[in-house]
Amino acid sequence: MSDSITSMLQENRLFEPSEHFRTHIGPIAVPDLKTYHEMYRKSIDDPGGFWGEIAKDFDWYQPWEKVVEWNLPDAKWFVGGTTNVCANCVDRQIKRGHGDELAILWEGEPCSPDPEIRRLTYLDLLREVSQTANALKSMGVKRGDVVTIYMGMVPELAIAMLACARIGAPHSVIFGGFASPAIVDRVQDAQSKIIITCDGSWRRGQIVALKKNVDDACEKLPEVKNVLVVRRTQSPITMHAGRDHWWHDLVPTQSPECPCEEMNSEDLLFLLYTSGSTGKPKGICHTTAGYMIYTAQTARVTFNLVPKHNHVFFCTADIGWITGHSYIVYGMLPNRVPTIMYEGAPNFPAEDRFWSMVARHKVTHFYTAPTAIRAFMKWGDEHPRKHDLSSLLLLGTVGEPINPEAWIWYHQNIGQSRCPIVDTMWQTETGGHIITPLPGCTPTVPGSCTLPAFGIDAAVVNEKGEELPANHGGLLVIRRPWPGMLRGIHGDRARFIETYWTKVPGMYIAGDGARRDERGYFWIMGRIDDVINVSGHRLGTMEVESALVSHPAVVEAAVVGIPHEIKGTGIAAFVTLSPHFKGATDDSLRKQLMEHVTKEIGPIARPDMIRFTMLLPKTRSGKIMRRLLRDIAVGKESTQDTTTLEDFNALAKLRESDE
> Which positions lie near ligand PRX, rule CB under 6 A?
274, 322-323, 398-401, 423-428, 449, 510-512, 524, 527, 533, 538
Of 229 and 272, which CB lies nearer to ligand PRX in the complex structure? 272
Spatial distance between the Cα atoms of 81 and 263, rounded to a whole number of angstroms: 8
Looking at this protein, which amino acid is placed at residue 301? V
Of 561 and 607, which CB lies nearer to ligand PRX in the complex structure? 561
How many C-beta atoms surround the C-beta of residue 370 within 10 A? Answer: 27
Supply the minimum distance, in Å, between the C-beta of residue 432 and ligand PRX. 9
Of 228 and 369, which CB lies nearer to ligand PRX in the complex structure? 369
Closest listed residue to residue 174, CA positions, set 318, 340, 279, 333: 318
Of 200 and 568, which CB lies nearer to ligand PRX in the complex structure? 568
Indicate the SS3 state at residue 583: coil
Supply the minimum distance, in Å, between the C-beta of residue 402 and ligand PRX. 7
Indicate the SS3 state at residue 130: helix
Residue 616: phi and psi, rounded to 5, are -105, 140
H or E element in which residue 45 lies: helix 33-45
Spatial distance between the Cα atoms of 370 and 377, rounded to a whole number of angstroms: 10
| Angular region, 248: left φ>0, alpha ψ -120 to 50, beta rest | alpha
| Degrees, nearest 5: CA angle 289-198-267 | 15
Supply the minimum distance, in Å, between the C-beta of residue 377 and ligand PRX. 18
Closest listed residue to residue 151, CA positions, set 210, 89, 233: 210
Of 106 and 522, which CB lies nearer to ligand PRX in the complex structure? 522
Closest listed residue to residue 269, CA positions, set 299, 293, 289: 289
DSSP E strands in 199-303: the ranges are: 201-203, 206-208, 226-230, 244-246, 263-264, 268-274, 282-287
DSSP, residue by residue, 85-123: HHIIIIIHHHHTT-TTSEEEEEEEEEESSSEEEEEEEHH
Residue 232: phi and psi, rounded to 5, are -125, -45
Q: Which residues contact 378 (CB under 8 A, 6 or more apart)?
A: 565, 566
Of 401 and 452, which CB lies nearer to ligand PRX in the complex structure? 401
Supply the minimum distance, in Å, between the C-beta of residue 419 and ligand PRX. 17
How many C-beta atoms surround the C-beta of residue 234 within 10 A? Answer: 9
Spatial distance between the Cα atoms of 293 and 176, rounded to a whole number of angstroms: 27
Of 99 and 443, which CB lies nearer to ligand PRX in the complex structure? 443
| Angular region, 234: left φ>0, alpha ψ -120 to 50, beta rest | left
> Within 13 Å and on the Cβ side, how many CA atoms surround 88?
29
Supply the minimum distance, in Å, between the C-beta of residue 171 and ligand PRX. 17
Indicate the SS3 state at residue 164: helix
Of 316 and 323, which CB lies nearer to ligand PRX in the complex structure? 323
Of 375 and 478, which CB lies nearer to ligand PRX in the complex structure? 478
Supply the minimum distance, in Å, between the C-beta of residue 5 and ligand PRX. 10
SS (H, E, C) 592-655: HHHHHHHHHCCHHHCCCEEEECCCCCECCCCCECHHHHHHHHCCCCCCCCCCCCCCHHHHHHHH
Supply the minimum distance, in Å, between the C-beta of residue 430 and ligand PRX. 8
Spatial distance between the Cα atoms of 408 and 143, rounded to a whole number of angstroms: 48
Supply the minimum distance, in Å, between the C-beta of residue 275 and ligand PRX. 8
Of 50 and 426, which CB lies nearer to ligand PRX in the complex structure? 426
Of 351 and 543, which CB lies nearer to ligand PRX in the complex structure? 543
Of 323 and 541, which CB lies nearer to ligand PRX in the complex structure? 323
